[in-house]
Chain A
């Protein structure tokens, strides 16, 4: 049962072949059996999950027609607030933090009968690309336990790939949904900036962060997006743009669709085996009648540099709230108020978080603000314009999701820059704020590789359409790891 998709479980529930309690118990059992070696979860909410499942069963028994997600177990990345449960951001700083309210996405999930079974491990405060910066544990890749699941939403990805839950939510600031989806053989979706409310998501970089789903296939992704998307008065950056029914886009017909292949994304940085995998995927798109056009996005090369200035600057400001006074970790020994801040922050944050706070504080400090922060904001404008121009020529853009498949633990931890480079194809998407999706595109030496589609602002439907057509013409999404 754990290998099934959301739509398959939904159909079984509707046909009364299983109950929500059975599905939930099965999920909890699976977690119990494998999570010691997988490490996807930082906390489990078994009682709350079973209570939600019983509610769903009661309604099903009464003959009610329920939403698609009703009764189906899922996981939240541990940076999303769920009232009465612990949210840690996998940081000592937030260890034991009890959420006083529900994030808007959690509220929406609950209203749809979702069964939230627990909180997934992540890089500390979502800063990382391998989930190795978590203060609590390592999460393993279900395809090879000696390798990373990607990050920062590594626990969310591993939990779905290994069949502990049927879908999960992650957050994506520079690739934190798409890269782990690629490394774990899943569909990972980053919506347009503003499409999904960030209320109740612990902020990393407020102008880049978006919440999105991990699922086993594109139909599941469309189902979850139907629940997540929409305006929220509690998030002032949330967009007032109408939300279509995303499942209506899954027609498999992409004849005549113009797909741009940026030559910069298939250049020398792409290893030969990855390029081969991607070119095979592009042949599939051609065979479906899409028109492949070579395009150029020369400024993409600068997106990672822009990202590290902007993301770190925004993080240094957002994380200033952790002062050991109102919530979060407080040092045991201190001399005065200032010393509470310094000692609590020094003891509570891990190295990668401190590195980003330092970089951001430096970039925002007097004398460097113009040279770094403002310069990055100007280059951002040019990157945005470059995407806008490209979308006059093509409907979607295609690229690898990440330059590599899952790497080994410790392989990239010594040099921060090398770790940062695993986000080279995903970061420009956040800088511009457009939507992106990673879909399984094949295997390299037994490890999954993802193909990324990038769409125009609020064109999530078009992205899901092309991703679905590609997926249905291949079998990669049907493969499950043997854990």
Chain B
């Protein structure tokens, strides 16, 4: 499954990243190198083997639905690149 520049372009778009031509080529080469190495997983028989998302089985960690302190507005907006009237400011997204 060799990765082409077209694939890298597509994945970059999904990942919201931008590359120039030269970087695109380098990433194509790097990804092919790494995926070539990863290919060895096909040697492992996983027929009928369950997936493990966590190292050991975990179940929902539920708690009582009680109000507890959380970040106030000021703290939540502390690192906002741009804010106005106690809100995050973004460019217009609806035409």
Tell me the A residues contacting B by CB distance below 8 Å: 96-98, 100-101, 193-194, 207, 233, 236-237, 299, 301-302, 304-306, 308-309, 316, 320, 323-330, 334, 336-338, 340-343, 345-346, 349, 354-355, 357-359, 361-362, 365, 368, 371-372, 374-382, 384, 415-417, 420, 431-434, 457
A327 and B79 form a contact (CB under 8 A): yes
Could you pull out 18 A-B pairs where Cβ atoms are within 8 angstroms? A100-B78, A299-B44, A305-B38, A308-B38, A325-B80, A336-B92, A337-B90, A340-B90, A342-B17, A345-B16, A354-B17, A355-B30, A361-B15, A371-B1, A377-B52, A384-B52, A384-B56, A416-B33
Q: Given that A101-B71, A379-B41 are known contacts, is A358 also in contact with B55, CB under 8 Å in the complex? A: no
Beta-carbon contact of B79 and A98 below 8 Å = yes
Alpha-carbon gap, A150 to B48, bound state (A) = 39
Q: How large is the interface on B (under 10, 10 to 19, 20 to 34, 35 or more residues)?
A: 35 or more
Q: A382 — which chain B residues lie within 8 A by C-beta?
A: 44, 46, 49
Chain B positions within 8 Å of A, measured between CB atoms, are: 1, 3, 7-8, 10-12, 14-19, 27, 30-31, 33-35, 37-38, 40-44, 46, 49-56, 58, 60-61, 63, 71, 75-76, 78-82, 88, 90-93
In the bound complex, residues from chain B placing their C-beta under 8 Å from that of A325 are 80-81, 88, 90
Q: A100, A101, A381: which contacts B50 (Cβ < 8 A)?
A: A381
Per the bound structure, the CA–CA distance linking A354 and B11 in Å amounts to: 11
Asked whether A377 and B51 contact (CB < 8 A) given A358-B15, A361-B14, the answer is yes
CB of A229, distance to nearest CB on chain B (Å): 16
Chain A residues lying within 8 Å of B8, measured Cβ to Cβ, are: 358
Nearest opposing residue in chain B for A231, CB measure: B61
Q: Contact at A433–B54, with CB atoms within 8 Å? A: yes
Question: For chains A and B in complex, what number of residue pairs have CB atoms within 8 angstroms?
Answer: 166
Least CB distance, A409 to chain B, in whole angstroms: 20
Q: Is the CB–CB distance between A358 and B11 below 8 Å?
A: yes
Q: Are B79 and A358 in contact (CB under 8 A)?
A: no
Q: Is the CB of A433 within 8 A of B55?
A: yes
**Which B residues touch A365, using CB under 8 A?**
10-11, 14
CA of A306 to CA of B46, assembled, Å: 13
Residues of A within 8 A of B15 (CB): 316, 345, 357-358, 361
Q: Please tell me if the beta carbons of A305 and B11 are within 8 angstroms of each other in the complex.
A: no
Q: Is the CB of B55 within 8 A of A326?
A: no
Per a CB cutoff under 8 Å, which of B10, B78, B91 touches A334?
A: B91
> Once the chains bind, are B61 and A236 in contact (CB under 8 Å)?
yes
Q: Nearest chain-A residue to B42 (Cβ)?
A: A375
- Is the beta-carbon distance between A358 and B93 smaller than 8 angstroms? no
Closest to A429 in B: B55
Instruction: Write out the residue numbers on chain B whose beta carbons fall within 8 Å of the beta carbon of A417.
Output: 33-34, 37
Asked if A308 meets B34 with Cβ closer than 8 Å, knowing A100-B75, A357-B15, A358-B8, the reply is yes
Which residues of chain B are within 8 angstroms of A237 by Cβ–Cβ distance? Answer: 54, 58, 61
Bound complex: CA A380 to CA B50 (Å): 9
Bound together, the chains give a CA A329 to CA B81 distance in angstroms of 7
In Å, the complex CA distance between A361 and B8 comes to 10
Complex: A328 Cα to B79 Cα, angstroms:
7
Question: What residues on B are CB-neighbors of A457 within 8 Å?
Answer: 55-56
What residues on A are CB-neighbors of B46 within 8 Å? Answer: 375, 378-379, 381-382
Q: Are the CB atoms of A306 and B41 closer together than 8 Å? A: yes
**Interface contact A98-B78, CB-CB below 8 Å:** yes
Q: How far is the CA of A337 from the CA of B51 in the complex (A)?
A: 37
Residue from the list B12, B44, B55 in contact with A193, Cβ < 8 A = B55
* Contact, CB under 8 Å: B30 / A330: no
Contact between chains at B54 and A416 (CB < 8 Å)? no
Q: Give the shortest distance, in Å, between A207 (CB) and chain B (any CB).
A: 5
Smallest Cβ-Cβ distance to A354: which chain B residue: B17
Out of B16, B58, B81, name the residue touching A342 (CB < 8 Å).
B16
Given contacts A337-B91, A358-B15, A378-B49, contact A416 B34 (CB under 8 A): yes
